Amino acid sequence: MVRRHELTDESWAVIEPLLAPARMGRPVRDRRQVVNGIVWKLATGAAWRDLPERYGPWKTVYERFRRWSADGTWDRLLAHVQQHSDAVGAVDWSIVCVDSTTVRAPPACRRGPKRGTWPGEAIGRSRGGPTTKIHLACDGQGRPLAFTLTAGNVNDCTQFEQVMARIRIERCGPGRPRTRPVLVAADKGYSSTKIRTCLRGRGIKAAIPERIDQINGRISRGESRCRFNRAAYRRRNVVERCFNRLKHNKALATRYDKRARHYQALVTIACLRLWLP
């Protein structure tokens, strides 16, 4: 019987080969039991010490989560599932939507310098207090392709190229990885000459509206406005729906982890669950 917040048999069959136990060494705890415990913590946002007994000792589950976060296991799982989905044509490359969302950090995570940001932990002071920002790109079906974490006071447009550079899905057979969609849609916060030039250089169309000051500047210089595909821009709401589904996980909607690498691992697991059957 599969309980709430646990992986189904179909989902576990997809990721089990990448979590195969080592041939040597002492026996380890059932990996599905451990992964279900991590997923339960992600969904509920509870402390590790409050993990139900059916998942085993909480310290064992936490240590496995910490180890897999450090060695890149979660990133490999997400890349594997994306590769499998792309091989069967389930990735919508017709459009990629880029946006960001802000996540508040509770008092337990605010231990840092009295002034400025928390160096290296992706927490910064913004209008809502100490926050973290998730910059994300999703495909036309609203499934996450890549993301980055920054402090909450970092401007969205500064992370656009980093997010696009992380879109990389390997092919099952020969050939270069898939990295380029047909079109990119984003809001006015990403309207800059640098971003438009970057997309044009890669042969990617842009559906990004111009800000009013940019429009007035073009008019005063006697230049024509940038072409704007309104029909494609209407599809940008898929990234908002993607954030909505990700934030159903309480450990992601509010950042309880002090370490950025642990919170990044939780975001990766949440993205992984959106790709699993």
Instruction: Provide CATH code, domain 95-255.
Output: 3.30.420
* Structure confidence at residue 264 (pLDDT): 97
Q: Model confidence over 22-33: pLDDT tens digits?
A: 554 455 568 999
Mean pLDDT value across residues 195-224: 87
151 membership: H or E segment, kind and range: strand 144-151
Q: Spell out the residues 6+ positions from residue 118 whose beta carbon is closer than 8 angstroms to its own.
A: 110, 112, 124, 130, 151
Mean pLDDT value across residues 53-66: 94
Whether 55 and 36 have beta carbons less than 8 Å apart is answered as yes
Q: Is 201 a residue whose pLDDT tops 80?
A: yes
Checking 217-226 for CB contacts under 8 A at 24+ apart, the result is 226/196
Domain map (residue ranges) of the chain: 95-255
